[in-house]
């Protein structure tokens, strides 16, 4: 498609956009009295207008029914989380039984590693990407130490080639084969938080399984953003947070995927609690643990309903729209943003380098040559919410649910004005 860097053209794209009305379904912060251009849906998605009602409903049930709300509210609390499994299964490409909602992301990865990182003297190594999200680094180091191994020996970091900003799949596969029968686990962020690179999840999963390792994915930046087929890819386990592309609110609940081959088992190592036991017999308060036949077996505590309610509100919006429509718009709006960046690049002395490879989702990470943090500050003051990553990178994620093509055009104009001011 031939794009143009003009307001009329951007407005024309908006007029053709089937999702344009969803912009009205979200609450935007304001700067100088004007709705912001929001590029940080990869960090915290905007609040859907309908979310408040979902929380209010729980508050009302709690006020009117108190403990009876567990079984007698309109959406009973004791199995409230079950409502999320079917819509989530579509988003991550899983069977409904393979998905559950519980805890928060890093907590879930720890719990899942109880089942899927069981090192032996021979097979104890973990492969992850270099400079993984800090929480994942702490997760892996502490798990390795907990099992009595030395992180320096046990954790093998995937390196990028000198001068390159992305990982090559062939290098990932070569490392997996090299570590071979010492490899216990591959655990990588499916979409890298810094560069926005989408890893070749099916190929890497296959290679990891072929050498006898477990393969898990941290999908914090992938869920609700890119096409996932966790079941068909034969992934062992995965977890994601819901507050980034899934708009469920700050620090909110996490989703997990556990491959069906591990479901319904009593002999799998797992940290257990009463909410993982069979619903039918849970309240008999028996001493034996009888697992739920689905991923709910990993549930430890009863459901934090006030946290899960906004997640349900968000998932109903994903149900209405569907991942395919979101991905279609995402591809186009990201391409338009890349075009706008190239246009502005040609009009100013500074240069931008998009360090995100073609295998990408919503995010473009842009290295600003000849510009510093003052440009970021200028953008924020002028109503463009982005984020800054050292040394010189801004991350731009135009979430297809609520960003418009006009936002991209206006962003270009503000960016140009900020640079001109710095260059003069
Ligand atoms: C956002 C993010 C997290 C956050 O973890 P929480 O436990 O929800 O605080 C973890 N890992 C990655 C890769 C992330 O992008």
pLDDT 10s digit of each residue in the chain, 424 long? 799 999 999 999 999 999 999 999 999 999 999 999 999 999 999 999 999 999 999 999 999 999 999 999 999 999 999 999 999 999 999 999 999 999 999 999 999 999 999 999 999 999 999 999 999 999 999 999 999 999 999 999 999 999 999 999 999 999 999 999 999 999 999 999 999 999 999 999 999 999 999 999 999 999 999 999 999 999 999 999 999 999 999 999 999 999 999 999 989 999 999 999 999 999 998 999 999 999 999 999 999 999 999 999 999 999 999 999 999 999 999 999 999 999 999 998 888 899 999 999 999 999 988 888 889 999 999 999 999 888 889 999 999 999 999 999 999 999 999 998 877 6
Q: Ligand 1 center to residue 40 CA distance, Å? A: 15
Residues 6+ apart with CB under 8 A from 418: 375, 378, 379, 382
Strands (E), 153-252: 155-158, 183-189, 214-218, 237-241
| Ligand 1 probe mutation, 112, 132, 191, 193, most atoms within 8 A of CB | 193
Ligand 1 atom index nearest CA of 254: 8
CB atoms near residue 2 (< 10 Å) = 5
Q: How far apart are CA 333 and CA 19, in angstroms?
A: 12
Check residue 422 and give its pLDDT: 79
Please name the residue ranges forming H helices in 303-403. 305-321, 323-347, 373-381
Question: How many residues in total does the chain contain?
Answer: 424
Ligand 1 atom index nearest CA of 108: 7
Q: Ligand 1 center to residue 251 CA distance, Å? A: 9
Ligand 1 atom index nearest CA of 241: 8
Q: How far apart are CA 39 and CA 76, in angstroms?
A: 36
Pocket of ligand 1 (CB under 6 A): 104-106, 133, 135-136, 189, 193, 218, 220-221, 241
Residue nearest to atom 2 of ligand 1 (CA): 220
Check residue 132 and give its pLDDT: 94
| Ligand 1 probe mutation, 41, 43, 106, most atoms within 8 A of CB | 106
* Interhelix angle 7-16/323-347, nearest 10 degrees: 170
Q: Ligand 1 center to residue 265 CA distance, Å? A: 29
Q: Ligand 1 center to residue 244 CA distance, Å? A: 9
Q: Ligand 1 center to residue 105 CA distance, Å? A: 6
Strand order in the sheet with 99-102: 99-102, 254-258, 237-241, 214-218, 183-189, 125-129, 155-158
213 neighbors 233 (Cβ within 8 angstroms): no
| Ligand 1 probe mutation, 112, 113, 224, 241, most atoms within 8 A of CB | 241
- Report yes or no on whether pTM surpasses 0.95: yes
Q: Which two tokens stand for residue 217?
A: 């994915």
Residue nearest to atom 1 of ligand 1 (CA): 220
**Helix/strand/coil for 320:** helix
| Ligand 1 probe mutation, 42, 103, 105, 224, most atoms within 8 A of CB | 105
Q: Which pairs from 28-36 meet CB under 8 Å and 24+ separation?
A: 28/402, 29/385, 31/380, 31/381, 31/382, 31/383, 32/382, 32/383, 34/383, 35/383, 36/383, 36/384, 36/385
Q: How far apart are CA 246 and CA 159, in angstroms?
A: 30
Q: How far apart are CA 231 and CA 186, in angstroms?
A: 17
Q: Ligand 1 center to residue 203 CA distance, Å? A: 24
Ligand 1 atom index nearest CA of 109: 7
Ligand 1 atom index nearest CA of 218: 13
Q: How far apart are CA 45 and CA 125, in angstroms?
A: 35
| Ligand 1 probe mutation, 108, 220, 397, most atoms within 8 A of CB | 220
Closest CA to 397 of 351, 353, 361: 361
Check residue 423 and give its pLDDT: 75
Q: What is the DSSP string of 5-68?
A: -SHHHHHHHHHH-TTGGGGGGEEPPEETTEE-EE-BTTTSPPEETTHHHHHHHHHHHHHHHGGG
Check residue 153 and give its pLDDT: 98
């Amino acid at each position: 498609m031939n794009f143009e860097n003009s307001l009329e053209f951007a407005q024309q794209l908006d007029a053709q956009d089937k999702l344009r009305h969803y912009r009205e379904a979200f609450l935007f912060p304001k700067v100088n009295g004007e709705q912001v251009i929001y590029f940080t849906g990869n960090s915290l998605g905007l609040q859907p207008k309908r979310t408040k009602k979902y929380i209010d409903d729980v508050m009302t049930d709690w006020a009117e029914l108190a403990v009876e709300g567990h079984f007698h509210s309109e959406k009973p609390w004791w199995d409230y989380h079950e409502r999320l499994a079917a819509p989530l299964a579509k988003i991550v490409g899983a069977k409904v039984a393979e998905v559950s909602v519980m805890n928060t992301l890093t907590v879930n990865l720890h719990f899942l590693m109880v089942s899927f990182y069981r090192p032996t003297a021979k097979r104890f190594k973990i492969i992850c990407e270099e400079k993984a999200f800090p929480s994942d680094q702490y997760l892996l180091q502490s798990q390795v130490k907990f099992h009595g191994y030395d992180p320096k020996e046990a954790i093998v970091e995937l390196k990028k080639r000198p001068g390159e900003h992305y990982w090559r799949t062939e290098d990932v596969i070569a490392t997996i084969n090299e570590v071979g029968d010492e490899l216990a686990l591959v655990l990588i962020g499916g979409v890298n938080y810094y560069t926005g690179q989408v890893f070749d999840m099916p190929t890497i999963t296959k290679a990891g399984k072929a050498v006898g390792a477990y393969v898990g994915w941290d999908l914090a930046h992938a869920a609700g953003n890119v096409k996932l087929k966790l079941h068909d890819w034969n992934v062992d386990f995965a977890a994601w947070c819901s507050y980034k592309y899934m708009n469920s609110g700050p620090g909110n609940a996490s989703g997990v995927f556990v491959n069906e081959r591990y479901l319904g088992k009593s002999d799998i190592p797992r940290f257990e609690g009463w909410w993982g036991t069979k619903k039918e017999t849970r309240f008999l308060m028996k001493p034996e643990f009888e697992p739920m036949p689905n991923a709910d077996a990993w549930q430890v505590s009863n459901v934090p309903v006030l946290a899960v309610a906004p997640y349900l509100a968000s998932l109903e919006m994903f149900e209405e729209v569907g991942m395919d429509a979101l991905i279609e718009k995402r591809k186009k709006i990201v391409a338009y943003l890349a075009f706008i960046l190239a246009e502005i690049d040609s009009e100013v002395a500074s240069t931008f380098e998009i360090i995100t490879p073609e295998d990408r989702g919503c995010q473009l990470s842009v290295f600003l040559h000849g510009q510093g943090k003052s440009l970021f500050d200028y953008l924020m003051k002028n109503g463009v919410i982005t984020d800054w990553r050292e040394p010189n990178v801004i991350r731009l994620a135009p979430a297809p649910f609520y960003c418009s093509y006009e936002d991209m055009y206006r962003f270009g104009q503000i960016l140009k004005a900020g640079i001109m001011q710095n260059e003069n």
